[in-house]
Amino acid sequence: MLIQKGVLDAIQDCDEFLRSFCSYAEGALFACRLLPVISTPRLIESHGAWKNDLSRVGTHEPNLDDGLDHFKRCGHLAFWLRRMGPIVEAIDTTKNLADSAGYPLSADELEFRELLLGYCNEYIAFDYAFQICKYYELGKVPPSARAAVIAPSREYYHSMCHFLKYKNVSPHAMHLIFKSLFLA
What does the domain layout of the chain look like in residue ranges?
7-181
Q: Give the three-state DSSP class for 34.
A: strand
pLDDT given at position 103: 77
Q: Give the three-state DSSP class for 175.
A: helix
Per-residue pLDDT tens digits of the chain, which is 184 residues long: 567 778 899 999 999 999 999 999 999 999 999 999 999 999 999 999 999 999 998 776 655 556 789 999 999 999 999 999 999 999 998 887 665 566 788 999 999 999 999 999 999 999 999 999 999 999 989 999 999 999 999 999 999 999 999 999 999 999 999 999 998 7
pLDDT given at position 6: 82
Quote the CA–CA distance of 38 and 159 in Å, as a whole number. Answer: 24
pLDDT given at position 176: 97
Q: Do residues 6 and 32 make contact, with C-beta atoms less than 8 angstroms apart?
A: no
Look at strands 87-92 and 34-38 and give their pairing. Answer: antiparallel
Q: Give the three-state DSSP class for 99.
A: coil
Residues 6+ apart with CB under 8 A from 120: 29, 36, 87, 90
Residues 6+ apart with CB under 8 A from 138: 144, 147, 148
Neighbours of 88 (CB within 10 A): 12
pTM comes to 0.92
pLDDT given at position 94: 86
